[in-house]
Amino acid sequence: MNTFQSFELVYVIVKSGMGTKVLKAAKEFGFRGGTICLGRGTISHKILSFLAIEDTRKEILLFGADGETAQEAMEKLSRKFKFEKPYHGIAFATAASRIVGMSCYLGDHVGEEETKMEKIYYQNIITIVNKGKAEEVIEAAQLAGSKGGTIINARGSGVHETSKVFHMEIEPEKEMIMILAKREETEAIVKAISESQQLDQPGNGIVFVQNVERTYGIYES
């Protein structure tokens, strides 16, 4: 049976105004295209800086590529934009089992997942909640050990998330929170978020976790 070569979803987070420059460079370095989202950071802790400036505007770029392309492009982006320096930006890649909408490459990676897990040091916790709840998510996560995160505005369209105004269905605004955490801290953070937002109740939101394959610009002080 044919298998797909491993794909990666690459996140690059930079200060507002840098997204277009990073996108242009990323295309030169091998990515076929990308998406820029607007968000804001919430870091107020010196450890594991997520651009380390409290409540500032961010641009989040998303790219999809095979693992080899992703690694080479991320290394070049890190050198060009000096991600090793504080506040210059961060980049990390998460595993994607499949990407639809771009060319796929065949390869052999069956049986590699357990080996990869041993090398996973960070995980990306994604939480999607109703607008106005992001700060509560951040607060709950910090009490469980998180150092902060990035908030992105979004829009919902789920069966439980529509309301009616003048008999018209309205899709309410959502907030998506990305929190990068050490693997051993993830479970406690997810539990704290779930309990604080009562995510066991329909329509309150969702949370999921992605394994981070590699990182640039993450440092401890």
207 vs 1 pLDDT, higher one: 207
Sorting pLDDT into bands at 50, 70 and 90, what band is 106? very low
For 38: left if phi > 0, alpha if psi spans -120 to 50, otherwise beta; the answer is beta
Domain ranges in the chain? 7-119, 122-211
Sorting pLDDT into bands at 50, 70 and 90, what band is 218? confident
| Cβ(143)–Cβ(192) below 8 Å | yes
pLDDT at 7 (0 to 100): 80
Tokens of 8: 């990666």
Section 136-164 average pLDDT:
78
pLDDT digits (tens, 9 = 90+) for 153-212: 865 555 555 555 555 554 567 888 999 999 999 999 999 999 999 998 888 888 989 999
Sorting pLDDT into bands at 50, 70 and 90, what band is 118? low
| Helix (H/G/I), strand (E/B), else coil: 20 | helix
CATH architecture of 122-211: 2-Layer Sandwich (3.30)
Whole-model pTM? Answer: 0.73
Query: What's the length of the chain?
Result: 221
List, in order, residues 6 or more apart from 114 with CB less than 8 Å away.
none
| Fold match between domain 7-119 and domain 122-211 | yes
Check whether domain 7-119 has CATH 3.90.1170.40, yes or no: no
Helices (H) and strands (E) in the chain, counts: 5, 10
